[in-house]
Amino acid sequence: MTDVAPPSLSPSGLAAPTTGVRPQATAPPRRNRVGSRAERLAPLVLVAPAVLVIVVLRLWPLLLGINFSFTGDGDRNGTAVGLDNYLTLLDDPLFRTALGNVGLLVLLLPVAVAIPGLLATFIHLKVPGHRLYRGVYFFPAVLSPVIVGAIFTLLLAYDGPLNSLLGGLGIGPVDWLGDPDVAIFAVVGVHVWATFGMALVVFLAGFATLDSSLLDAAKVDGASLPQTIRHVIVPGLSRTIQFVFITTMIGMLTSMFGLLFVMTSGGPEGSTYLPEYYIWTQQGQMNRPALASAASTALFLIMLVVGLAQIAVLRRAAGKED
């Protein structure tokens, strides 16, 4: 675009009528104009399909949804209500709990990344039976959240096997899914169990790029396992770790619905609500689609901020490395 000067502004174009001596001089710019117009339109035409898909299927519905969130529910269906829905959200302890739980998930993120990282390290260091573990660890990743949820609902039931086991050890039963202080951790724990296999595979792929001579050198120098992890493995895998952080975060914020639905239904006492579940309840159960739209918009903004923050961190870290 920048290498071709716009013909209408070229000095020859302006000069031609005033001098009137060299009529041919206007011809090349005219040809130029036709050629450059096609040239200018070509990229637009070429990107049009992609832009249209994004605009029609993504941005347009997004704007409709945001627009819809400023209208009312029930008797006020279709009328503009300004920020009423957002005020209702802020006033709803359930939505605040849902947002609080998002914060909790962010805090638990390092744990969710450390587990597959550590297990991948052991597999890479070829602990006895590492081939078996590699398969076993990945296995839960192929199960649907609903099935995982159903299995763990049985296991974690008040009179279920886990409590029997604890009882045998002399520890009192814990109401894993019925105690509001415990339930969210139980659900997140199950989510991590069900999804860490994918992160493990990413970590193993990262290990494949790790220079094994560094590990050997550390071994020769007599480094202990924690020292090896801290000074050799973590710096060598920093890009992989960042990637796993981001994908795990996205997974936690967007795909816990199935587990919540099956394991706790948002309870007990509303303690395991996440924004997604809140949106679903308001739309489907309470028949308040406009309020649900407002909650969706709020969730979108949160995801946008989290996503931008992650990109910023990633960019800075990448800049440091390259």
Please report, as ranges, the residues that interact with other proteins according to CB under 8 A: 1-2, 40, 44, 55, 59-60, 63-68, 71, 74, 77-78, 94, 153, 156-159, 173, 175-180, 183, 264-265, 267-270, 280-281, 283-287, 289-290, 293
Write down the least CB distance from residue 233 to other proteins, Å.
40
Nearer residue to other proteins within complex by CB, 232 or 299: 299
Nearer residue to other proteins within complex by CB, 236 or 269: 269
Write down the least CB distance from residue 261 to other proteins, Å.
8
Write down the least CB distance from residue 282 to other proteins, Å.
10
Nearer residue to other proteins within complex by CB, 69 or 248: 69
The residue assigned the tokens 């949160």 is: 302
Distances (CA, A) of 144 to 13, 86, 147, 197, 260: 68, 34, 5, 13, 13
Write down the least CB distance from residue 7 to other proteins, Å.
13
In angstroms, the CA 22 to CA 26 distance is 8
Nearer residue to other proteins within complex by CB, 94 or 302: 94
Burial bucket for residue 192 (CB in 10 Å: 0-12, 13-18, 19+): buried
Nearer residue to other proteins within complex by CB, 236 or 267: 267
Write down the least CB distance from residue 285 to other proteins, Å.
6
Biggest alpha carbon distance in the chain? Answer: 108
Burial bucket for residue 149 (CB in 10 Å: 0-12, 13-18, 19+): buried
Q: What are phi and psi of 9, to 5 degrees?
A: -100, 0
Nearer residue to other proteins within complex by CB, 66 or 250: 66
Distances (CA, A) of 241 to 41, 115, 245: 43, 12, 6
In angstroms, the CA 66 to CA 71 distance is 10
Write down the least CB distance from residue 63 to other proteins, Å.
4
User: Is the separation of the CB atoms in 111 and 242 below 8 Å?
Assistant: no
Q: What six digits make up the tokens of 292?
A: 């649900």
